[in-house]
Amino acid sequence: MTETIRVGVGPLSFDDVVTVARAGARVELTDEALAAIDRARAVVEQLAAGEQPTYGVSTGFGALATRHIPAELREQLQRSLVRSHAAGAGAEVEPEVVRALMLLRLSTLATGHTGIRRETAELIAALLNHGITPVVHEFGSLGCSGDLAPLAHCALTLLGEGPVRDASGQRTTAEEALEAAGLKPVNLQAKEGLALINGTDGMLGMLVLAITDLSALLRAADVAAAMSVEGLLGTDRVFASELQAIRPHPGQAASAANLRRLLADSGVVASHRGPDCNRVQDAYSLRCSPQVHGAVRDTVDHAATVAARELASAIDNPVVLVSAAGDGRVESNGNFHGAPVGYVLDFLAIAVADLASISERRTDRFLDKARNHGLPPFLADDPGVDSGMMIAQYTQASIVSELKRLAVPASVDSIPSSAMQEDHVSMGWNAARKLRRAVDGLARVLAIETVTAARGLQLRAPLEPAPASRAVIDLFGRHHVAMPGRDRFLTPELDAAHHLLVSGDLLSAVHDAIGELS
């Protein structure tokens, strides 16, 4: 039975967003939310009936806000707003991002601060429940005054206009999709068009999805690092808890604790632990793994704090404020500015690039016979005839180079718009788009490191790897990945390893062997 997420006046959780965006969970507005929506709508209708101009209710928008719009033109005003702002360009945005965006806009509407009508909010819920996903494009948002173009493409669907994807993923028209689902488009009333497009929902949705993915990838990164330390005959002594305690960063402590558990009972590590070992210190990419991985963990935790605050926010301009007595007013504000979200999106892209960079350096050590402590060059079966993992590292290097470019902050840029009325913008949507690419690249880099380490550990036979490493090697073996031997078509193996990593199967195998990692 499909799970149902109840959308009320309080904040959604990360799990709520992910479940709706990726698992197709249904949504339902609570009675409390509907009551709040009705109270705010009453305020808007009272102001719309008055003579005093109110921004977003009886005026134009942006630099055109000085024009008072007569009552008979206000439906046209809202339709024109949505149609004109649905001006996106470029590739289609992923359906999970659009579903997250729609859910988060619905969550803001449910707070009772936007002045939307309940039937409009309920139609958004119905679109989600019927799997109707508006076609949203890559370019169009400046991350200020809301993710305007992406949200406008979603609002266009409520009018029965524009292209959508149906529940089967087929592209069709909004009119046909609504009719097939038994739904009717809405005629937007005063304030509604503005309420539908004025939010940070796109960038926030992508932030929540990225944090969710990174939380799993950070544990996979610890697995990859432990296998590399083990396969390169590194020491586990540098991960001791008393060494971590004298630099008390929480992420570092958690990563080091994982590395200790992952390397426990390793026959490979035990083989060079005695007095005959003359290697005093490992290279930074091995020895400093918990410091780098831990800093990324702490960065993700900071981003999660910001995202949680944003999930608890009502982002619109203007907003409706209703008193306990039931009267209210509409006030302009700047809460739509995406700076808080844009900054952490950029911060995460920097951290992701560095995490991938240290992973690539560990991989490279396996391939250099001068640094891999007795393994064949490039882990090749017959070096010179076979190239082994040589070009897999090239692939890593290509991705890491791209991640460094993606780490250049988007939020330091600002291009004025709307005749200089909107003269400072966040570019948070752009920051979110590049972070999605960066997270995908990180997963591929970690997959290549894990494959390389698994092959290297098998070449250490008859030494027995740690139980956690053995679990990964056995998982790979069942999928014909990372087996030593003559050269073969490598892309399918790397793709399979990537799938095992992002699907959670790799972590599940490790957890089954040694228990759940931090």
| Residue 352 tokens, joined | 């992701």
Instruction: Write down the residue that tokens 């800093």 correspond to.
Output: 295
Which SS3 state, helix, strand or coil, does residue 312 take? coil
Q: Pairing relation of β-strands 4-7 and 26-29?
A: parallel
Question: In 3D, which of 98, 70, 73 has the Cα closest to residue 156?
Answer: 98
Instruction: Write down the residue that tokens 């740690």 correspond to.
Output: 466
Which SS3 state, helix, strand or coil, does residue 59 take? strand
| Residue 362 tokens, joined | 């560990």
| Residue 516 tokens, joined | 């759940």
Beta-bridge mates of residue 139:
89
| Residue 339 tokens, joined | 């700076």
* Torsional class of 112: left (φ above 0), alpha (ψ -120 to 50), beta (otherwise): left
Dist. CA 504–CA 13, nearest whole Å: 21
Q: What angle do CA 256, 260, 266 make, to 5 degrees?
A: 150
Residue 235: how many other CB atoms lie within 10 Å: 18
Q: What angle do CA 15, 18, 24 make, to 5 degrees?
A: 120
Dist. CA 459–CA 482, nearest whole Å: 11
| Residue 500 tokens, joined | 């095992």
Dist. CA 278–CA 154, nearest whole Å: 64
Query: Could you confirm whether 394 is annotated as catalytic?
Result: no
Residues serving a catalytic function are 55
